[in-house]
Structure 1
């Protein structure tokens, strides 16, 4: 389970980094003046927005499409779907590992306490902690 969790984490971290960077650029597109820049055709897939001409595509459009997965067409959407399922797998495996570790920890502590009580001649029940009386 830990190995699967680690692999999913590594694979999805690249996508998360891209989402964070493009989200920041989209949020502050005026500050970065993205409308004034174009991305050349050499950096883009051949099938991406052919109607925009040979000069390239405005940077703000490319960043929004990269953020949404539309930059790579149907394959980009499929990749984002796979990464979304990977994130769900990370969430579930993380919760499972955490809860099973906590359960084992509590169970082993209870087992050791019960064993110690039996060894002392007790009935396996933990004694109540002593109560403190506040001084007057």
Structure 2
């Protein structure tokens, strides 16, 4: 009977241990499920954050590429404008040179004509002075004769 009572006490204490172990096992399983759910939630949150970051990066990249294209277009327009301005300056310089050359030739021609006119007038003045001297001598001769 005593062995029976001891066996019953052992079985009862083992039942308590088994019940405690089952409870601990259930707690561990619950904790594991909670950790798995937390892990799944964390992975989903990380995936969403990565997706959002990639989308934001794509938007910034697209905006930067658009801005870069706009800047290249502006640079190209400015370069074309500069080429046109340089061409215009060269054209104007050429025209100015032609006009200047023509004006110089015209002025040289006018100067030459003025020199010729001056030379002719100087020659006439000399002829008139010679005539005046001759007439003065003639007048002097007539005064002495009279």
Superposition TM-score tier, normalisation by shorter sequence: 0.3 to 0.5
Which structure has the larger Rg over C-alpha atoms?
2
Q: Higher helix share goes to which structure?
A: 2
Higher relative contact order (CA 8 A, sep 6+): 1
Which TM-score applies when normalising by structure 1?
0.37
Which TM-score applies when normalising by structure 2?
0.34
